[in-house]
Chain A
Amino acid sequence: MQNLAEISGGLSYLEQSEAVKARLDRMKAREVILQVAGLMKTFQTGKSEVVALDNISFKTHRREFLCIIGPSGCGKSTLVRILAGLETASGGQVLLDGHPVKGPGRERGMVFQGYTLFPWLTVRKNVMFGLRMNNVGRAEAEKQANEWLALIGLERFADAYPNQLSGGMKQRVAIIRALVNRPRILLMDEPFSALDAQTRARMQSYLLEIWKKVDITVVFITHDLDEAIFLADRILVLSAHPGRLQELIEVPIERPRRPEHFSAAEFAATKARLEALIHPPAKPGEDEEAYPSVPLLTDVRDEVE
């Protein structure tokens, strides 16, 4: 924390450069794609009722990149699953282009953490799947799938099965499998958390590259603060138990994003704010259960730390 404050040099995450402000203003001038109003989700566990999401409201504009972040148990996965239509809300409304969302549909594509490619289909047929399910002819679906595969440089693997691909390749295929359907919005539920650090960094840059070229609005769930800041236009911060909206942060970093931005002052300032929201200084009495201290179990007397 101290460190972040030093890097940011007293800069507030609320200060935006002219370029950033202009870009965010342009974004906000675009039409609203997704509107969430007073969303509630309660679970019944035994006789008691647990509130998972409490009165969540926000909107995303066309071609916005929105990250949703929060501590574990804040219901961010539940939120995105409700947006996808895989779960039903207990109250409130989700509007896509002004129409209420009922059940899953092709206009809301989703990328899952566990890839979820169909193992019995080749890479090409995985990409064709959504088109075929929406009654696009085989030849046309194949043509579009080939175009998208060429776009992400995986045309060589078109006839391979998913279990022959690396994790990064699988997730690239999963992204275009959703995009080939031309969804209005792309929902991503911690899509890169199963990847190793190096692949994850490359995938983040690559996702931004795709997002820049395609007319798509992204709602991206993550628990990684750096990832959220690097990717997002705006970050929606949730609190846990119950999941409430804490703050909608506008990321004051210019685009295009580059790895150098990780050490920028704006980055540190934003991260310091996120840290403060997500890991607030523990109040006495409501701290997490403390781990016991470990007694010395070695005869070797020199200190390692």
Chain B
Amino acid sequence: MLQVSDAAIRPAADAETGDAVPGQWFRVRAPLSRRTRFILAVCSFLVPLALWSAISYVPFIWHPDVLISDPGDVDYMLPGMRVDKATFEQEIQNAKVNKTNPPVGVPCNPVYLPAPGDVAMAFYTSFTTPPADQDGLWLHQSLWQSIQTIFWGFVISSLIGVPLGILCGAHSGAARLVEPFVEFFRYLPAPAFGTLAVAVLGIYAGPKIAIIVIGTLFQQILIIANTTRKADFSLVEAALTLGTKNLRLLTKVIIPSTLPDLYRDQRILLGWAWTYLIVAELIGATTGISLFITQQSRYQHYANVYAAIAMIGILGLGTDLVLAALGRKLFPWDGR
């Protein structure tokens, strides 16, 4: 028997207002209020931070090591040393048996997991600490070096990839000529070209930029070509019946109609370029934020390492937010 009750009809209407419906706790793509959206966005950062804080600050969660404050009579222990819990307890037993002073310490996490507070502190102090070497770089100078590497890598890749991708998306012949090789090349890992790039371009900025270009360009050509191919063809037909011909179809119809989508692609590809940064900077003479990270981890200053990684994230997300806002200004007619 088919039954259609009032309740079965209501959710469709409520899906638009976002009001709760009794008994329906999972609603597919229900809209959210502005306030809820903001709160959830903040929570998406606060929840991982809370987990991290809990592991770091609640002594009975994890804490597999012991931080020695007083070594007692144990000769190999030093204040500030971390030993694992089993060793620590063994030494206390030994001290009891031998009637010597037992070591004293508090539970702590391994050195590779600093607490959020330490990282936040390191975030600040790493900017205020002068470079260790005389000719070394301040952190902000290292970061600036990295930003320049990314910038030039992405600009060079885009100067080739965007026009070529658009051409492939608009012209079947160009696509057949270019895309099979690009499909092959994009599977070759960019870091594999490291030594080659150094041999050709020297040890400074050249090979690093080249790695970012190799890592980004081939994906870029295919992504831009696919987006261009999705241009609404009925608009091209309308332009044809209005007397548009040849390259003007490309410059006056296809490109403007896909521009917001191409812009979105570029934002995603810029994120892609960032992921190649560390590999690129390790090639030849290590520079930029990678130099900072490798040096700090050599001294086991993991709080500084985390701070530097967080900086990359903040820079990346910050750029993307700015670009997104700029996109809304540039394409007021774009509904999405």
- Beyond A114-B234, A297-B1, whether A109 also contacts B333 by CB under 8 A is no
A177 touches B1 (CB 8 A): no
Contact B243 A181 (CB under 8 A): yes
**A119 contacts the other chain (CB 8 A):** yes
What size tier do the contact residues of chain B reach?
20 to 34
How many residues belonging to A are interface residues under a CB distance threshold of 8 Å? 30
C-alpha gap A103/B246 in the complex (Å): 12
Scoring A residues 144 to 188 as 1 if CB is less than 8 Å from chain B, else 0, what string do you get?
000000000000000001110000000000000110010000010
Residues of chain B within 8 A of A118, CB atoms compared? 235, 238-239, 253, 256-257
Is the CB–CB distance between A297 and B2 below 8 Å?
yes
Interface string of A287-305 (1 = CB under 8 A from B): 0000000000101000000
Bitwise interface map of A from 87 to 124 toward B, beta carbon under 8 Å scored 1, else 0: 00000000000000001111011101010101111000
Interface contact B335-A106, CB-CB below 8 Å: no
Q: Assess whether A177 is in contact with B242, with CB atoms less than 8 Å apart.
A: yes
Q: Please determine whether A119 and B257 come into contact, CB atoms closer than 8 angstroms.
A: yes
Q: Are A133 and B238 in contact (CB under 8 A)?
A: no
For B243, give the chain A residue with the smallest CB separation. A106
Q: Is A71 an interface residue when CB atoms closer than 8 A count as contact?
A: no
Report the number of A-B residue pairs with Cβ-Cβ less than 8 Å.
Answer: 75
Q: Closest residue of chain A to B255, judged by CB?
A: A120
CB neighbours (8 Å) of A161 from chain B are: 332-333
**Is B27 located at the chain interface by the 8 A CB criterion?**
no
In contact, A105 and B243 (Cβ under 8 angstroms): yes
Given A120, A130, A181, which contacts B256 in the complex, CB threshold below 8 Å? A120
Question: Least Cβ distance of A163 to chain B in Å?
Answer: 6
Q: Mark B243-257, 1 if CB is under 8 A from A, else 0.
A: 111001000110011
| One of B240, B256, B334 near A85 (C-beta < 8 A) | B240
Judge if A230 is at the interface, Cβ distance under 8 Å.
Answer: no
Interface string of B102-130 (1 = CB under 8 A from A): 00000000000000000000000000000
B243 touches A112 (CB 8 A): no
For residue A121, give the distance in angstroms from its CB to the closest CB of chain B: 8
Contact A86 B333 (CB under 8 A): no
Q: Are B243 and A133 in contact (CB under 8 A)?
A: yes
* Residues in A whose Cβ lies below 8 Å from that of B334: 119-120
Task: Report B220-250 CB contacts with A as 1/0, cut-off 8 Å.
Answer: 0000000000001011011111111100100
Task: Name the distance in Å between B232's Cβ and chain A's nearest Cβ.
Answer: 8
Question: Given the complex, which residues of B lie within 8 Å of A106, measured CB to CB?
Answer: 241-243
* Interfacial chain A residues near B333, Cβ < 8 Å: 119-120, 161-163
The reply to whether B237 and A130 form a contact with Cβ atoms under 8 Å apart is no
In the complex, chain A residues whose CB is within 8 Å of the CB of B331: 120
CA distance A86 to B249 in the complex (A): 14
A residues near B312, Cβ cutoff 8 Å: none
- Count chain B CB atoms within 10 A of each CB in A129, A163, A299 and give the residue with the most: A129
The reply on B282 being an interface residue by CB < 8 A is: no
Tell me the bound Cα distance from A114 to B232 in angstroms.
11
Q: Is B259 an interface residue (CB 8 A)?
A: yes
Digitize A271-301: 1 where CB-to-B-CB distance is under 8 Å, 0 elsewhere.
0000000000000000000000000010100
Q: Which B residues are in CB contact (< 8 Å) with A33?
A: none
Interface residue A67 (Cβ < 8 Å from any Cβ of B): no
- State A108–B252 Cα separation when bound (angstroms): 20
User: Which residues of the other chain, A, contact B242 by a CB distance below 8 angstroms?
Assistant: 106, 109, 129-130, 133, 177-178, 181
| Nearest opposing residue in chain A for B241, CB measure | A110
A247 to B: closest C-beta gap in Å: 29
Interface residues of A (CB under 8 A from B): 84-86, 103-106, 108-110, 112, 114, 116, 118-121, 129-130, 133-134, 161-163, 177-178, 181, 187, 297, 299
Closest 5 CB pairs of A and B: A106-B243, A130-B242, A104-B240, A116-B238, A110-B241
A-B residue pairs in contact (CB < 8 Å), sample of 10: A105-B241, A106-B241, A106-B242, A112-B234, A119-B334, A120-B257, A129-B242, A129-B252, A133-B248, A181-B243
